[in-house]
Amino acid sequence: MTTSPRLDFEALYDSTADLVFRVLGNMGVREDELDDALQDVFLVAHRRLDSFRGEARPSTWVTGIAVKVAHDYRRRRARKPSEPLEPHAEMLEEPSPGPDAHLMRHDGLRAVQGFLSQLSPTLVEVFVLSELEQQSGPEIAEALAVPLNTIYSRLRLARGQFERFVEKLDGSAS
């Protein structure tokens, strides 16, 4: 009989807090919600420590929780009557740079943020994990609990949109 490894919670926090923070921020959790969201992630992780089987890397496992928490925050925000609903994913047009195009050409982070803010949430997830966090397809599939082929097709779609976004950057800035 094999026993699953027991995660050290404190070590888990130390090794993944930055990752969680970045993932939450890139997936649309607002700055003023980031601290709460990060705590949520680790409280859930702590509660689920016993269910960690060691089949995925701890960082992948925590990333999966962070993605769901980020999703939860976005949804909760959309339910508040005082805040406008975010546009439905399917209603989003292809991202295109706005008046900041010139700045975006010289600031990759700004460009990516501008792009992500207009991208469908399902594509944001794979794009962030792949292109910013540089996680592999199988890792992303594990974290999101989505079939690998779906991950790859979403990634293709997101990359294509990013390329066109960048083309528009040049067009807008020239």
Q: Are 126 and 151 in contact (CB under 8 A)?
A: yes
Rg of the Cα atoms in the chain: 17
Residues 104-133 that bind other proteins (CB under 8 A): 104-105, 107-114, 116-117, 124, 131-132
Q: 3 or 134: whose CB is closer to other proteins?
A: 134
Instruction: Return d(Cα 42, Cα 103) in angstroms, integer.
Output: 36
Identify which of 83, 86, 108 has the alpha carbon closest to the alpha carbon of residue 97.
Answer: 108
Q: How far is CA 164 from CA 6, 94, 123, 148, 169, in A?
A: 45, 9, 15, 24, 9
Residue 78 engages other proteins in binding (rule: CB under 8 A): no
Q: 117 or 136: whose CB is closer to other proteins?
A: 117
Q: 17 or 92: whose CB is closer to other proteins?
A: 17
Q: How far is CA 136 from CA 30, 92, 151, 168, 172, in A?
A: 26, 27, 10, 28, 33
**Closest distance between other proteins and the C-beta of residue 21, in Å?**
5
Instruction: Return d(Cα 61, Cα 49) in angstroms, integer.
Output: 10
Stretch that binds other proteins, among 14-22, 55-63, 135-143, 146-154 (CB under 8 A): 14-22
Residues 79-98 that bind other proteins (CB under 8 A): 80, 82, 98
Question: Which residues would be at the binding site for other proteins (CB under 8 A)?
Answer: 9-10, 13-14, 17-19, 21-23, 25-28, 30-33, 35-36, 38-40, 42-44, 46-48, 65, 68-69, 71-72, 75-76, 80, 82, 98, 100, 104-105, 107-114, 116-117, 124, 131-132, 134, 159, 162-163, 166, 169-170, 173-174
